[in-house]
Amino acid sequence: MDILPLYSLLLSIFEKGTVMSPRILVAYASVHGSTAGVAEAIGKALQIEGYSVDIAPMKTVSSPGDYDSIVIGAPVYMGKVVGDVKKFVVKHRDALARVPVAAFCIGVAPLGKDPGDVDTIMNIFRTALAPLEPVDVTMFAGKIDMEKLPFMHKWIWKKMDGPVGDFRDWEAIGVWARELPRKLGISAEP
């Protein structure tokens, strides 16, 4: 392998005083697209703030160790974290332990009348993230699109008289995303 081109690139970066912005990975699991939409919004907000951001389904991520910080997102359905969160955490435990991590989950608990529902879901989500200890963990309301639900889920949701619609609070999501660099201990400024 010829390392001269890489050496020349690095030398030119340092000679020009250019410092690359921290790289952030937003890795998510999404079943019907609600969590993917939130992950995209978080990634775009971070890009606007000057960060280099990759947004990807966690099952496609092969080397999270290439990043300076990581944001993990997943949906919670009927009290269970859906997707590959636990597999992702176990598979990449060493890489994740070396960088600051934040996490978010999506669900309908924020729409309920009992604030304890959110606490219960957050505890379930934190358990799925263990042994990670993210610098911040939050929950956003999601989107329930009856057209995308399997028959049995539709039937259960109708019986429960569950809310239907897009309940994602884009402003709150943007605020959380813009606060992440401070919480993660990173800066886009040289």
Q: What is the 3-state secondary structure (H, E, C) of 15-76?
A: HCCCCCCCEEEEEECCCCCHHHHHHHHHHHHHHHCCCEEEEEEHHHCCCHHHCCEEEEEEEE
The CATH architecture annotation of domain 20-182 reads: 3-Layer(aba) Sandwich (3.40)
Could you tell me the residue ranges of all domains in the chain? 20-182
> What pTM does this model have?
0.81
Q: What is the 8-class DSSP label of residue 142? A: -
Which of 2-6, 19-23, 81-85, 88-92 is predicted least confidently?
Answer: 2-6
Model pLDDT for residues 36-57, shown as the tens digit of each residue: 999 999 999 999 999 999 999 9
70 with 25: CB under 8 angstroms?
yes
User: Which H or E element spans position 104?
Assistant: strand 101-107
**N-to-C CA span, the chain:** 31
Model pLDDT for residues 123-143, shown as the tens digit of each residue: 999 999 999 999 999 999 887
Query: Smallest Cα–Cα separation from 84: which of 123, 121, 54, 58?
Result: 58
